[in-house]
């Protein structure tokens, strides 16, 4: 089973380049960065962590695409992914080109992790309505998939509409960069995974055994071949937990690194290396 890492990278943590190089040198398979474009000061939406105050890294996280590009250029094998991109908050034409460029410069090592978002006021700043954010994210991703795979791409929907157009570069990975959706289990999540994604990033990784039959049923009902990728995401490891993930068919798990400086971050990587070796 492959072992990856995720961290809220900020202007006060270890840098993207050094972290990527050190992760690859220790045998980690992937590196994933989250996204918040900004955090409105009003803070009306409760923190998803359950804390009274939102942790500082939410306010200071780097742009994931820029940081992932730096990580990709600094390494040769490390997979680089978003965990997760708030795709409804980006114009799909611009975003398709940026992601295709990342896949090109990384020689096909990109992974597109998509999230629907939780911060009502953040998405409102982008003109995204919380109640319809899933539908908007779906259209944005479908439009991006068209731009990635077709020489003359067009899209007509409620949130995205553009006439036939050229857009290069195309991703190295065809017909699309592997697309995974992050979030909790449920019928809406699994319907989206089955329709337009390649897998699921269960945040935290709890309750997987009970959730997998519903995911596989949705996948089969959609007529999809094979099986969806399931990558437990942002977990704190133990050998027992990792053995459990492997026993239920997970080919990869992504471990959480705290948002800390260089020395402490590398200590965390060193503490995780035993799991990579096993």
What 3-state DSSP class applies to 188? helix
Q: How far apart are CA 233 and CA 151, in angstroms?
A: 34
Q: What is the pLDDT of residue 50?
A: 81
At 145 the pLDDT is 98
- What's the confidence (pLDDT) of residue 226? 95
The per-residue pLDDT for 52 is: 80
Question: What's the confidence (pLDDT) of residue 275?
Answer: 85
Q: What is the DSSP string of 217-275?
A: HHHHHTT--S--EE--EEEPP-HHHHHHHHHTT-SEEEEEE-S--HHHHHHHHHHHHHH
- Biggest CA pair distance of the chain: 52
Domains of the chain: which residue ranges? 2-277
Radius of gyration, alpha carbons of the chain:
18
Model pLDDT for residues 167-226, shown as the tens digit of each residue? 999 999 999 999 999 999 999 999 999 999 999 999 987 789 999 999 999 999 999 999
Predicted model pTM:
0.95
Determine how many CB atoms are found less than 10 A away from the CB of residue 232.
Answer: 24
Which ranges constitute the DSSP H helices of the chain? 16-25, 56-60, 64-73, 92-105, 120-125, 133-149, 187-196, 208-221, 239-247, 262-277
Ramachandran region, residue 253 (left: φ > 0; alpha: ψ -120 to 50; beta: rest):
beta
Written out in words, the top-level CATH class of the domain with range 2-277 is: alpha beta
Residues 265 and 14 sit within 8 Å (Cβ to Cβ): yes
Task: Report how far Cα 104 is from the mean position of its chain's Cα atoms.
Answer: 18
Please state, in angstroms and rounded to a whole number, the distance separating the CA atoms of residues 48 and 39: 13
pLDDT, block means (10 residues), the chain with 278 residues: 97 98 98 97 86 91 98 98 98 98 98 97 97 98 98 98 98 98 96 98 89 97 96 94 94 97 98 85
């Amino acid at each position: 089973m492959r072992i990856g890492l995720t961290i809220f990278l900020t202007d006060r943590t270890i840098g993207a380049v050094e972290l990527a190089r050190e992760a690859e040198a220790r045998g980690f398979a992937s590196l994933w960065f989250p996204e918040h474009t900004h955090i409105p000061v009003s803070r009306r939406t409760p923190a998803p962590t359950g804390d009274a105050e939102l942790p500082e890294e939410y306010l200071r996280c780097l742009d994931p695409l820029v940081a992932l590009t730096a990580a990709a250029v600094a390494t040769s094998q490390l997979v680089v992914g978003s965990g997760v991109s708030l795709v409804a908050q980006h114009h799909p034409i611009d975003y398709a080109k940026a992601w295709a460029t990342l896949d090109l410069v990384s020689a096909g090592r990109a992974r597109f992790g998509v999230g629907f978002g939780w911060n009502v006021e953040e998405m409102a700043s982008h003109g995204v309505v919380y109640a319809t954010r899933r539908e908007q994210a779906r259209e944005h991703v479908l439009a991006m998939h068209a731009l990635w795979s077709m020489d003359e791409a067009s899209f007509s929907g409620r949130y995205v509409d553009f006439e036939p157009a050229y857009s290069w570069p195309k991703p190295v990975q065809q017909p699309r960069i592997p697309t995974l959706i992050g979030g909790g289990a449920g019928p809406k999540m699994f319907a989206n995974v089955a329709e337009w994604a390649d897998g699921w990033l269960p945040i935290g990784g709890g309750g997987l055994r009970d959730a997998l039959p519903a995911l596989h049923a949705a996948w089969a009902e959609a007529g999809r071949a094979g099986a969806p990728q399931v990558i437990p995401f942002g977990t704190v490891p133990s050998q027992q937990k990792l053995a459990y993930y492997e026993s239920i068919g997970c080919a990869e798990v992504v471990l959480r690194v705290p948002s800390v400086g260089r020395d402490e971050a590398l200590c965390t990587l060193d503490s995780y290396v035993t799991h990579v070796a096993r």
